[in-house]
């Protein structure tokens, strides 16, 4: 697959949230405002990039320096190794966020350390980066990260607009607009994503017909 | 504000339900809630792992990572109290490794003592590692029951209670969801919404119902 | 057995490398994080005691004890701040202190400014990790309209007014986040009840103060 196609697949065809149903927890929790969505998307993309790169390099290193047999036995601990790599990058994100973006760090709360169990990251490390060379792995990470961020933003758009009457923190509607509080509460998240999934399925079915 | 045991239980199961209010544990929630038996099995497995993981991570945080008089560096190695290393930044790595190892051991143990249970739970067990509810409750315990590295009053008991109750709450909504989805198989749902979309809408409705608990006064 | 040992060693080495890298980054970001905390405290003080040109911390020596009650060392902790209208200590305008209470999912820390009669001038939430969209809304500081939680509703309140509506008091709690609202309100009340006698200020709850 060409590199451009690699990148684009993460955005629509294999969108991690809407297609692969990965990374649902942070998606629902953090999509209360577009700025939170962008922040979380950026943090996750950073970890994705780091982990896909390291995993691809580590596998490359081990295939070069180990024999067939050595590789087979190292294979047994590959998941824990991936986890250490991912957890390290998440810790780096935690520290950088507390140091340079404290407000964002506070609004994202426990979901920053929870990036480590975001199935997208381990999923791509195991499913792609461990089997592909460095450059495609990097592009895959960027594509998946972008897809994740866009999915977050799409949900956040509806929730922030309807739930607090704001867009990126700026009040849009006049005083008469009563925001639908439910949208920024947990039920709103479930309903919006259920709606989006249903619409996407419908669009796919129409495409298939034509 | 101190937490009573009963207060914590009601908090973790209903008011702050880990799935419907805190958004933790969603992947297994969506994936395993199609049938009642697998829901019950997954729920019990998660509750078990959550409790043990919270126990172990609490001990590690209190005695190794936090730079206080409780640290082994002070108690056992007699490092001067001002020089005890602050290893709290290793929290994420240590916790997730503990959880991953725990799940591995539990998987091997179940395989040995009950092959039938192992077959039933099968693929779900490794999935528990990435269940954000487990790491989530472990991190939550630290955020809620420690201040400046030192455990607050009743910190350990509170941790165990919260973890166990969180697991119960998770199991509860999993069973509820499975019950609903089993019935839904027979209903006439519009094609685009079958499967995952309707599951989310139901979760949304359940979440509204659980919102009703948020007014509860548990003092 | 030999194989397991070898794999464990490899995993341990990788973990140690990761820990070392993280320790370095921690070393670099820690001072920045401390700076952020200091800046945050100063910013909060400026908000709760805006007319104060001079702020003087009043410390107390807090003994750090071990499990048996033996004192290991003493630490200086700020008990409260005195605010003066001029750059000297001639005109005392008020006091500021930090209150902390356990919320939903974190300890919520609030900076409170009071005037010399013990009534609240202003509060500022300085740290919280409550649920995004629910308890996290406690930081809202819009003009108080009587219906929606705002930190501004604390202005002018005395210690006797510090109860949330669900407990029969005048403080409007956050919709769907009673626990956070209660934690903040009660933590301020508790801190005030120990501080007012110390500052020799009489209140409805404690009229006879010498």
Calculate mean pLDDT across residues A186-199: 88
- H-run or E-run covering B194: none
Taking one residue from B and the other from C, the number of pairs with CB-CB distance under 8 angstroms is 56
Taking one residue from A and the other from C, the number of pairs with CB-CB distance under 8 angstroms is 70
Query: Which of C102, C129, C131 lies closest to B3 in CB terms?
Result: C102
Distance from CA of B40 to the nearest CA of C (A): 27
**Interchain proximity B192–A91, CB inside 8 Å:** no
Please give the pLDDT value at position C110.
94
Q: Which of A33, A57, A107 is the mutation pick for testing C, counting most C CBs within 10 A?
A: A107
Query: Which of A90, A187, A193 lies closest to B92 in CB terms?
Result: A90
Q: Where are the alpha helices (DSSP H) in chain C?
A: 2-48, 178-199
**Interchain proximity C133–A91, CB inside 8 Å:** no
Query: Which of A87, A96, A185 lies closest to C133 in CB terms?
Result: A185
Strand positions, DSSP E, chain A: 166-167, 170-171
Query: Which of C22, C129, C132 lies closest to A92 in CB terms?
Result: C22
**Interchain proximity A106–C22, CB inside 8 Å:** no
| Angle at the Cα of C179 from the Cα atoms of C49 and B204, rounded to 5 degrees | 125
- H-run or E-run covering B219: none
Instruction: Return the partners of chain A (3 or more C-beta pairs < 8 Å).
Output: B, C
Residue C71: pLDDT band (50, 70, 90) is: confident
Chain A residues lying within 8 Å of B136, measured CB to CB:
25, 110, 114
**Interchain proximity C67–B69, CB inside 8 Å:** yes
Q: Which residues contact B3 (CB under 8 A, 6 or more apart)?
A: B11, B154, B158, C102
Calculate mean pLDDT across residues A136-142: 90
pLDDT tens figures, A41-70: 999 999 999 999 999 998 888 888 877 877
Q: How far apart are CA B125 and CA B118, in angstroms?
A: 9
Distance from CA of A119 to the nearest CA of C (A): 21
Chain C residues lying within 8 Å of B81, measured CB to CB:
64, 72-73
Calculate mean pLDDT across residues C69-92: 83
Query: Which residue of chain C has the CA closest to A83?
Result: C15
Percentage of residues in chain A having pLDDT higher than 70: 96
How long is chain A? 210
Distance from CA of C203 to the nearest CA of B (A): 23
**Interchain proximity B211–A190, CB inside 8 Å:** no
Residue C63, strand partner residues = C74
Please give the pLDDT value at position C210.
46
Q: How far apart are CA C158 and CA C166, in angstroms?
A: 18
**Interchain proximity A182–B25, CB inside 8 Å:** no
Please give the pLDDT value at position B34.
78
Query: Which of B11, B81, B93 lies closest to C73 in CB terms?
Result: B81
**Interchain proximity B192–A198, CB inside 8 Å:** yes
Q: How far apart are CA C15 and CA C25, in angstroms?
A: 15
Please give the pLDDT value at position A79.
82
Q: How far apart are CA A84 and CA C14, in angstroms?
A: 8
Chain C residues lying within 8 Å of A185, measured CB to CB:
133-134, 176
Mean pLDDT of chain C: 85
Q: What is the pTM of this model?
A: 0.81
The DSSP result for B133-159, as a single string, is HHHHHHHHHHHHHEETTEE-TTHHHHH
Please give the pLDDT value at position B138.
93
Query: Which of B100, B194, B207 lies closest to A80 in CB terms?
Result: B100
Instruction: Report yes or no: C204 and C158 within 8 Å, Cβ to Cβ.
Output: yes
Looking at per-residue pLDDT, the higher value among A183 and B176 belongs to B176
A8 burial type by CB count under 10 A (0-12 exposed, 13-18 middle, 19+ buried): middle
pLDDT along chain B (219 residues), means of 10: 78 86 81 79 88 94 87 83 84 90 83 79 72 88 83 88 94 91 85 85 89 63
**Interchain proximity B1–C183, CB inside 8 Å:** yes
Q: How far apart are CA C86 and CA C209, in angstroms?
A: 28
| Angle at the Cα of C107 from the Cα atoms of B10 and C36, rounded to 5 degrees | 155
Please give the pLDDT value at position C67.
67
Domain regions of chain A by residue span? 3-209
**Interchain proximity B215–C107, CB inside 8 Å:** no
| Lowest-confidence segment of A110-124, A164-178, C40-54, C169-183 by average pLDDT | A164-178
| Lowest-confidence segment of A75-79, B87-91, C18-22 by average pLDDT | A75-79
Q: Among all chains, which residue has been given the structure tokens 């697949």?
A: A9
pLDDT tens figures, B107-154: 888 788 878 877 776 666 777 777 888 999 999 899 888 877 888 888
């Amino acid at each position: 697959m060409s590199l451009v196609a690699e990148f684009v697949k993460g955005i629509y065809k294999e969108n991690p949230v809407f297609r692969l149903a990965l990374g649902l927890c942070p998606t629902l929790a953090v999509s209360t405002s577009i700025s939170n969505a962008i922040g979380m998307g950026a943090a996750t993309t950073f970890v994705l990039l780091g982990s896909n790169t390291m995993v691809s390099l580590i596998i490359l290193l081990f295939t070069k320096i180990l024999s067939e047999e050595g590789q087979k036995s190292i294979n047994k601990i590959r998941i824990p190794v991936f986890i250490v790599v991912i957890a390290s990058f998440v810790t780096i994100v935690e520290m950088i966020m507390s140091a340079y973006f404290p407000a964002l760090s506070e609004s994202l709360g426990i979901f920053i350390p929870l990036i480590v169990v975001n199935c997208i990251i381990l999923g791509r490390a195991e499913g792609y980066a461990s089997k592909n060379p460095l450059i495609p792995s990097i592009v895959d990470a960027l594509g998946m990260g972008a897809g994740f961020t866009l999915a977050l933003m799409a949900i956040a758009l509806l929730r922030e607009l309807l739930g607090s009457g704001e867009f990126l923190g700026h009040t849009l509607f006049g005083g008469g607009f009563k925001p639908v509080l439910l949208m920024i509460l947990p039920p709103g998240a479930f309903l919006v994503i259920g709606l989006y999934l249903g619409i996407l399925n419908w669009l796919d079915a129409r495409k298939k017909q034509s | 504000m101190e937490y009573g045991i009963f207060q914590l239980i009601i908090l973790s199961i209903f008011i702050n339900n880990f799935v419907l209010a805190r958004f933790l544990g969603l992947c297994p929630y969506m994936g395993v809630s199609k049938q009642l038996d697998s829901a019950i099995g997954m729920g019990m497995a998660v509750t078990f792992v959550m409790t043990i993981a919270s126990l172990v991570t609490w001990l590690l945080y209190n005695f190794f990572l936090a730079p206080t008089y409780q640290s082994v560096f002070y108690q056992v190695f007699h490092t001067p109290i001002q020089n005890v290393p602050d290893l709290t930044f290793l929290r994420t790595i240590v916790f997730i490794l503990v959880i991953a190892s725990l799940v591995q051991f539990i998987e091997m143990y179940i395989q040995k003592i009950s092959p039938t249970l192992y077959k039933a739970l099968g693929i779900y067990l490794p999935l528990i590692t990435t269940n954000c509810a487990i790491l989530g409750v472990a991190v939550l315990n630290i955020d809620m029951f420690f201040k400046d590295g030192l455990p607050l009053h009743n910190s350990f008991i509170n941790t165990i209670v919260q973890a166990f109750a969180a697991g119960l709450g998770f199991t509860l909504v999993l069973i509820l969801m499975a019950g609903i989805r089993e019935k839904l198989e027979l209903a006439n749902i519009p094609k685009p919404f079958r499967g995952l979309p309707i599951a989310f809408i139901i979760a949304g409705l359940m979440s509204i119902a659980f919102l009703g608990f948020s007014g509860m006064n548990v003092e | 057995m030999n194989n397991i040992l070898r794999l464990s060693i490899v995993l341990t080495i990788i973990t140690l490398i990761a820990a070392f890298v993280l320790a370095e980054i921690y070393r670099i970001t820690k001072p920045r994080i401390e700076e952020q905390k200091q800046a945050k405290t100063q910013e909060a003080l400026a908000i709760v005691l805006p007319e104060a040109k001079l702020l003087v911390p009043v410390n107390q020596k807090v003994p750090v004890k071990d499990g048996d009650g033996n004192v290991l060392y003493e630490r200086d902790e700020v008990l409260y701040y005195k605010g003066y209208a001029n750059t000297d200590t001639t005109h005392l305008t008020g006091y500021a202190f930090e209150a902390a209470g356990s919320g939903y999912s974190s300890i919520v820390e609030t900076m409170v400014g009071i005037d010399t009669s013990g009534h609240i001038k202003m509060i500022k939430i300085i740290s919280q990790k409550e649920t995004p969209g629910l308890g996290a809304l406690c930081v809202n500081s819009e003009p108080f309209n009587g219906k929606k939680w705002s930190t501004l509703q604390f202005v002018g309140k005395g210690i006797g007014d510090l109860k949330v509506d669900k407990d029969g008091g005048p403080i409007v709690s956050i919709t769907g986040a009673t626990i956070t609202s209660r934690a903040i309100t009660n933590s301020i009340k508790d801190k005030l009840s120990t501080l007012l006698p110390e500052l020799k200020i009489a209140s409805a709850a404690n009229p006879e103060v010498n």
